[in-house]
Chain A
């Protein structure tokens, strides 16, 4: 593949296409979570943006008021595309989710970790596979890793700063109807991946 150092960008059609692909994938993920917790998951319009990692916290509008957050990340890779799925919880949500998952007993740091992992396994996996299916790419996923518990959003991002500069960020803000649950699933793709995906989606955007 020829070296391409052009900064990545998206046309309106490309952004719309990623939004539509995400819309389908997040619906599949929400369905899994809804069945697990017996709730209705409210689906937003996903945000798709090319960002500098330094502006990352500003893109997380849904969680900007959160005093403290906990986050799990999970890498995925397949056919020239690599990225990370980041699930960030407003810590105020953890009590409600634990209840919905029917956890009993004290919600200590260990129990919270389990709650995080349970939800991450459902949402991240289904969303990543959902996107892969539509692009005809079987993604391999790494195990989810805790990025931080009870921290603020800028603490999370410093950890990543070394490895990423410019990225495509897809942000999905999930809320659960009738419960105080608010989490953000953010998919980050490397620059080369975005170039490759832009080629893949060009077939979806073709006129008949």
Chain B
């Protein structure tokens, strides 16, 4: 269901290929295989949670832009993921406007997308 909500929140007509990972480890494999440029990352996950995934990305210097999408709205969670290299934090349930605004802010999509 988190996937559906996330997929629905992506801009319409955005021509990208979307892959889903069950947990952080699977996400890292996709990134290492060159299968992603932008990642929307949850924090609460089995195997490898969001924080550990960010640490691994940092340690291995993987080329990926990370936007964290989480229900953990504690200020501390936002600070921590930013320190670990996430571009932005979006609270769940994610809405389309917020996702679009963040993607625009970082120049990932154009203003008239």
Contact = CB atoms under 8 A, between A and B. Distances in A.
Contacts, number: 54
Interface stretch (B30-38, B72-80, B104-112): B72-80
Q: Which of A23, A35, A44 neighbours the largest number of chain B CB atoms within 10 Å of its CB?
A: A23
Interface in B63-104: 70-77, 91-93
Interface stretch (A13-21, A101-109, A142-150, A153-161): A13-21
B93 A134 contact: yes
A27 interface: yes
B74 A16 contact: no
A31 interface: yes
A43 interface: yes
Nearest to B46: A45
A40 B74 contact: yes
Chain B interface residue bracket vs A: 20 to 34
Describe B's contact surface by its main secondary structure: loop
A26 B71 contact: yes
Contact of B1 (A35, A205, A208): A205
A24 B46 contact: no
A116 interface: no
Contact of B8 (A24, A25, A41, A208): A208
B1 A27 contact: no
Contacts of B71: 23-28, 43
Interface of A: 13, 16-17, 20, 23-28, 30-31, 34-35, 40-41, 43-45, 134, 204-205, 207-208
